[in-house]
Structure 1
Amino acid sequence: MRTTVVAAALAATALVPQAPVQALSSQARVQALSPQAPLRAVSGRLGDCRAGQLCLWAKPDFTGTRQVHELSTIDIESCVPLKPGATVQSLANRTGRPVTTYQSAECEETGEFETYPGGGTWTPRTPYQVRAFKIWEN
């Protein structure tokens, strides 16, 4: 059974021990009480990815070599394999369209695959090595 990225992030947040707010510095208190605090606890930081882009990082937590793809440079609903030997372990989807990532370099559904919403999805750790993707029509 697959879980959504949001559900997984919320579940992971529940496992992160929280320091009492009184024990934190004033700056840390403001950060801890902000609506983004659970997301920071899970991912540490969000990767830099502009609106309209699909950003892929070679390593977890938005680190390593970054690839940027835009709708103007790819065919919608076509398999886009990564360069041979290249893999992705974190991603941000800001294309405005759903993106499916594949463990298979041929976008075969016999391996793992996952679809990420296009409204702004940051995934600090993909559940498998991504080797290809498809951007879908809305």
Structure 2
Amino acid sequence: MRHPTVLPTALAAALLAPAALLAPSAATAAPGPAPAAFAAPPAVPGAPPGTAGAPARSAPRLGDCAAGELCLWAGSGFQGARRVHDLSGLDIEACVPLAAGTTAASLANRTGRPVTTYQSAECAETGEFETYPGKGTWVPESPHRVRAFKVWET
């Protein structure tokens, strides 16, 4: 008669044996720096504060947008024509439609105030709309074509 713990013990040994062959032991592991995947990523030049780290290969480069501005790009990934709006030329909480026939696909909100973007050129809430914080929000691909926006009081 077999002992009841032999089969589970043998099965566990068979499952763990390949892992033991692949994992380096402390005696054979070469000393040195941690693998690159675990190393702290370097800071990205021109990135906003608090966003240190190398961008992922598929991540777009952040668009150029100064403090106090709302920047809108025609294309996604901060590409295409850029339109810049600052608080000195805007009425707070007023609907600001983009020029007829133009839309934006990416944006950066650095106004210091929340901004809502609208799919509707009249800021109608029957279409898509989204609000972004104003302390440095970069949106490489808006969830809708932006045709108007509102800047809100904080």
TM-score between the two structures when normalised by the length of structure 1:
0.74
Task: Give 3-state SS (helix, strand or coil) of 1:126's partner.
Answer: coil
Q: Once the 2 structures are TM-superposed, how far is the Cα of residue 31 of structure 1 from its aligned partner? A: 5.9
Which one has a bigger Cα radius of gyration? 2
What are the residue-to-residue correspondences of 1:105-120 with 2, within 5 Å? 105-120=121-136
Tell me, yes or no, if the aligned pair for 2:72 and 2:82 is still in contact at 8 Å. Answer: yes
Q: Once the 2 structures are TM-superposed, how far is the Cα of residue 44 of structure 1 from its aligned partner? A: 2.4
Report what 1:86 is aligned to. Answer: 102
> CA–CA distance in 2 between the matches of 1:74 and 1:59?
23
> CA–CA distance in 1 between the matches of 2:59 and 2:100?
28
**Matched length:** 111
Residue identity opposite 2:74 in structure 1: A
Q: Once the 2 structures are TM-superposed, how far is the Cα of residue 80 of structure 1 from its aligned partner? A: 0.1
TM-score between the two structures when normalised by the length of structure 2:
0.66
Alignment partner for residue 99 of structure 1, among 115, 122, 125? 115
The unaligned stretches of length 5 or more in structure 2 are: 1-34, 45-50
* Percent of paired sites with the same residue: 64
Residue identity opposite 2:36 in structure 1: V
Alignment partner for residue 66 of structure 2, among 40, 50, 62? 50
Report what 2:36 is aligned to. Answer: 21
Q: Once the 2 structures are TM-superposed, how far is the Cα of residue 47 of structure 1 from its aligned partner? A: 0.4
Residue identity opposite 1:62 in structure 2: F
More helix by share: 1
Alignment partner for residue 143 of structure 2, among 118, 127, 134? 127
Tell me, yes or no, if the aligned pair for 2:109 and 2:137 is still in contact at 8 Å. Answer: yes
Cα RMSD over matched residues? 2.1
Q: Which has the higher contact order (CA 8 A, sep 6+)?
A: 1
Deviation digits for residues 45-80 of structure 1, max 9, x if unmatched?
110000000000000000100000001101000000
